[in-house]
Structure formats: C-alpha cells, structure tokens
A = this chain, B = another copy of it.
Amino acid sequence: MARTDKIVGYSPTGKLADVTPDLAASGVETAFRMLEGRWKMVIIFHLFDRQVLRFSELERAIPGVSQKMLIQQLRDLERDGIVERQIYAQVPPKVEYRLTDWGQAMCPALDSLLEWAAQKPASPADPAPAA
C-alpha cells in the first residue's frame, strides 16, 4: 500500500496511494467539509430514508434543530449539489427536499465509513462494558 516516490498530480482513479499526502488530504478534506456540520448527516440520512421531505417534516423529524441551522445546512447541502430543493408556488408555501443523484452516490462511501467505525477495536482506555 505504501508508496515512497513522488506523484505528479491528482489521480483520476481517486486511489489514495496515487496521490501525494497533501493532495489526497485536501481532496478528502473538501469532501468532509461538505458533510461536516451538526445536522447534515441527520438530514442526509433522513432524506435517504424517506426520499423526499418538506421543511417542516424535516424539522419535526429532527428534534432539537433550530430553523436557522436546518435552513443553513440545507442551503449548504444544496449549494454543494447534495440535496435538491423544489418550491411550489402555493398559498401555504411548500418546499420539498430530496437527495440529488450525486448525493445518493455518496452512500457507499458513508457505508464504508460506518463499517470502519463499527470495526473499531475496543480501545484499551475504553470503559469496560460491564453490567
């Protein structure tokens, strides 16, 4: 896995071993920054689960979130092309949110991360899970 020689640029294969540490780091960091935020994951998973949700539905589905944060993180996700917003010009406003195709496409990656996290060996300093 490890490599010691230099690589010229950003590998289109996306393999970590093919890019320099800084390039790979910045690439993954960029992806991370899109997803970091107290509520983005919750939003994403709810949309992944329900496919399409209105603002108020999301608000109710996520207890503890403020409208500001909800709208803010939704905007971010929208701006990053992860979620789509559909507005209906109605008397009671109606806005639907759903994942974009690309947004759906990140689920395997999240899967990997979830699996990795689940494989965590009980750290030596962890509190023993006694009864």
Contacts and interface: CB of A to CB of B under 8 A. Distances in A.
Interface residues of A, number: 57
Contact of A45 (B4, B24, B79): B24
A88 interface: no
B81 A123 contact: yes
Main secondary structure of the interface of A (DSSP, over half): helix
A49 B23 CA distance: 12
A44 B25 contact: yes
Interface in A54-102: 61, 79-81, 102
Contact of A22 (B20, B24, B45, B80): B45
7 contacts: A2-B51, A16-B107, A22-B45, A24-B45, A26-B41, A28-B117, A106-B116
